[in-house]
Amino acid sequence: MIEIIDKAPPEVDQFQRRALMVGVVASAVCVLGAIFNLDQFFRSYLVAYVFWLGITLGCLAILMLQHMSGGAWGLVIRRLLESATRTLPLLALMFLPVAFGVRSVYIWAQPVAADAPEALKQALAHKAPYLNVPFFLARAVFYFAVWNLMAYFLNKWSLEQDRTGHRPLTTRLQALSGPGLVLYGLTVTFASIDWMMSLEPQWFSTMYGVLIMGGQALSAMAFIIAVVVVLSQYKPLSEVIKPRHLHDLGKLMLAFLMLWAYFSFSQFLIIWAGNLPEEIPWYVRRLQTPWKWVGLALVVLQFALPFVLLLSRDLKRNARRLVVVATAVIVMRLVDLIWMTGPEFHEGAFRIHWMDVIMPIGLGGLWLAYFAHQLKARPLLPIGDPFLEEALAPSGH
């Protein structure tokens, strides 16, 4: 089985060039846009950034999850997950525009307007020890240090195992992944509060961190399914990926989909039931303005429809149909992030700027090109893993 496991197919090269081209062109267009509307550029950039970072961090979490759980589904996608986590240094670099745009994006980073409501003034004064620019940037540096460090060791030991087949490395990867998942949970919770929830400094939700995590896991799973399906058309993965693998990945996507819906509805139910003046405005802005149609689209297209489709066993085993559902989920994840941030940017008004659409394409092109570059760097399967043979056996699980 091992000899067929080679590096990525030449089509990845071609994909990398195209992604890079699209990324450079779309980013350049947005940089031009920045000349005319700098504030909007930074806002669109933030949404595009958290979208692609979400896929990356979701991959990091699923990578650690599969080290903890084992299973054939995890072994066949491990190298894709690892490649995604190796883009974290690039994403750390891509954070710079967010750092430069802090004053354009966040109310709390701007001088308080004299005519601001008293409640807002109080909230800002109260939260100033946490929501201030130096501390904000210091926290970001800390998050990236943690994520990059975890990604570095997960990749380093996995590569070492390729060479040596050393079994204790599996134990070491597990020993990192357990605490790593806890660290992931804490850092993503704080990062999502910093980068997204603080857009509306008066509002808070204890569900926010896990909601973002559920979304990250969902978009990462959908992304990985799309990549697996594309790569399974070419050697070497065409010899490895069987309907049962897609079936397992499809089931996991369904699970993450339900997890996201569960978190999302829980947040809504708690805030709706409490109906408190400091919490409910967030939903009023999203459900009693034209934004409600976006919200409805999220319920239908990010939950109801894919949920019903993914119940089908045949669909999960059919690469073509599964990839359609996965792509729709990825697109809806972006729509979700726009819905979560847009009303804050436009004071509740329904407005979508062209950069909200082009910036994710630009950033995504650059990110995907780097992802493809990382994909080529190593064999597409963890050839040194002691469980690989077993996982690829006809009845392996």
> Does position 313 bind another protein by CB under 8 A?
yes
CA neighbours within 13 Å on the CB side: how many for 188? 27
Question: Interacting stretch for another protein, rule CB under 8 A, among 91-99, 139-147, 270-278, 348-356?
Answer: 270-278
Q: Phi/psi at 347 (nearest 5 deg)? A: 50, 45
Min dist CB 74 to another protein, Å, is 18
Quote the CA–CA distance of 41 and 101 in Å, as a whole number.
9
Min dist CB 283 to another protein, Å, is 11
Residue 128 vs 311, nearer CB to another protein: 311
Task: Compute the radius of gyration of the chain from its Cα atoms.
Answer: 21
Min dist CB 312 to another protein, Å, is 8
Min dist CB 394 to another protein, Å, is 6
> Does position 265 bind another protein by CB under 8 A?
yes
Question: Interacting stretch for another protein, rule CB under 8 A, among 1-9, 169-177, 263-271, 333-341?
Answer: 263-271
> Does position 395 bind another protein by CB under 8 A?
yes
> Does position 390 bind another protein by CB under 8 A?
no
Residue 145 vs 299, nearer CB to another protein: 299
Min dist CB 69 to another protein, Å, is 19
Q: Where are the alpha helices (DSSP H) in the chain?
A: 11-36, 38-69, 72-85, 88-94, 96-100, 102-105, 118-127, 133-164, 168-195, 208-231, 243-274, 281-287, 291-297, 305-310, 313-316, 319-345, 354-376, 388-392
Q: How buried is 277 (Cβ within 10 angstroms: 0-12 exposed, 13-18 middle, 19+ buried)?
A: exposed
Min dist CB 303 to another protein, Å, is 12
* 273 Cα distance to chain centroid: 30
Residues forming contacts to another protein in the complex (CB under 8 A) are 244, 265, 268-269, 272-273, 275, 311, 313, 394-395
